[in-house]
Amino acid sequence: MKLTSPAFKNNQNIPEKYTCDGENLSPPLFISDIPVGTESLVLIVDDPDAPSGCFVHWTLWNISPQTTEIPEGKIPENAIEGITDFGKPGYGGPCPPSGIHRYFFKIYALDTRLELDSSATKEDIEEVMEGHILEKAELIGLYQRK
């Protein structure tokens, strides 16, 4: 399985448009080589370089396995967004207090759908998807505020 973006390459800078300094839109993402038997996809975006520990920027689950693109600023039909470390559901772009931070866009192929509502956190998602992960791919973007 692969996760790519036309907006930035792996280990390259995320354009300002997709951060708190720009329009704060989620970047376009492409998913390919989804394994046979996948019932749903999960996307988790987090920043392990945050001063307070790993900071969650976006969670999205029950994405259809037929999904090959998550368009800029949109979520796939019937997918659910959970609570981030901004305290609300939805995408929150990179906004590091200082230095260059790494943002991990992680996609998981699961053999099930998740029975969670939009109040779920990253920890809730990771707990219920344990034992159901068929494959994982990631894309790392970098950002430093000017």
Write out the residue range of the structural domain in which residue 57 sits.
2-143
Residue 108: helix, strand or coil by DSSP? strand
pLDDT at position 56: 98
pLDDT at position 13: 98
pLDDT at position 41: 98
CATH of the domain at 13: 3.90.280.10
Total number of domains in the chain: 1
CA-wise closest residue to 82 among 57, 106, 107: 57
Distance CA 31, CA 3 (A): 5
pLDDT at position 146: 82
**Half-sphere exposure at residue 87, Cβ-oriented, CA atoms within 13 angstroms:** 0
CA-wise closest residue to 61 among 106, 25, 3, 1: 106
Contact 80, 92 (CB under 8 A): no
- Look at the alpha carbons of 133, 115, 121, 79 in this order and tell me if their dihedral is positive or negative: positive
* Tens-digit pLDDT string for the chain (146 aa): 999 999 999 999 999 999 999 999 999 999 999 999 999 999 999 999 999 899 999 999 999 999 999 999 999 999 999 999 999 999 999 999 999 999 999 999 999 999 999 999 999 999 999 999 999 999 999 999 98
